[in-house]
Amino acid sequence: MGEPVLILLGDKIFECNYQEICQNPYTVIGVKTAENPQAVGVVEMEGAFITRLIEKPKNPPTNLVIDGVYYIQNSKLLFHCLDEIIERDIRSHNEYQLTDGLQLMLEYGEEMKIELINSLHCGTPNQLLEANQSILEKQTSQVYCFPNSVIIPPVFIEECAVIEGAIIGPYVSIGNGARVINAIIKDAIIHPNAVLQNILINRSLIGPNARVHGGFHQFNVGSSAQVDLGELHKT
């Protein structure tokens, strides 16, 4: 029998008790209820145990869906079943699916239970920003003090970040070693060691070690004139 293994899908942030899940003597599948269960893997139950796992069924028997957390007691059996679905060319919707491997484990006698969990999708930039908003809203407010700067909560700023002459927030996370100078930042995630200077950004993701520099403009604007800076920056 292989060692237990915990599998987490990489495009989500999970809200669950990992310690409790990993102390379970059975294989555990993280699930949640869904309004559109036919879009994902569905779980059928009998009592406390899973009896069937179906990938994207046309007529879902339940609204309990697999949500990306898998605690597998018998990893050797899992790998055997994954090899078998490939050898037998078992596919769902023309793809090899982990769900089908888990279903094969059930057929071999593996006992499985469920754990109700919550998750935040992070597969697209918009989903990642929405997840950031949700996490910041739940955290305990901190007081930040930076030179000539205004901080509008909720935000999270690592201790070694440098903020000077900036307006930060709401909904901004700034990583360790990042530098934000003379900038206005809202609804954004700034990764470690990124540098932003002389810039206004909104709903943006700035990667590690990235450099984003803007500039200042000089205008002579006549009476009743209108200037749209957004138009000036279009390419």
pLDDT digits (tens, 9 = 90+) for 34-55: 999 998 999 999 999 999 999 9
- 85 and 30 within one domain: yes
Nearest to 182 by CA among 212, 144, 141, 142: 212
User: For the domain that residue 140 is a member of, what is the CATH number?
Assistant: 2.160.10.10
* Average pLDDT of the chain to the nearest whole number: 92
pLDDT, residue 233, reads 45
Q: Inform me whether the pLDDT recorded for 217 exceeds 80.
A: no
- 172 and 201 within one domain: yes
Tell which of 100, 121, 142 closes a domain: 121
- 109 and 27 within one domain: yes
- 177 and 110 within one domain: no
pLDDT, residue 174, reads 98
- 137 and 100 within one domain: no
Residue 220 lies in a domain: no
User: For the domain that residue 33 is a member of, what is the CATH number?
Assistant: 3.90.550.10
The count of structural domains within the chain is 2
pLDDT, residue 1, reads 65
What pTM does this model have? 0.80
Residue 221 lies in a domain: no
- 105 and 184 within one domain: no
At 89, the pLDDT band (50, 70, 90 cuts) reads very high
Taking residues 205-219, what's their average pLDDT?
86
Domain extent, residue 76, equals 5-121
Tell which of 121, 149, 165 closes a domain: 121
Residue 22 lies in a domain: yes
Tell which of 87, 121, 155 closes a domain: 121
- 90 and 35 within one domain: yes
At 232, the pLDDT band (50, 70, 90 cuts) reads very low
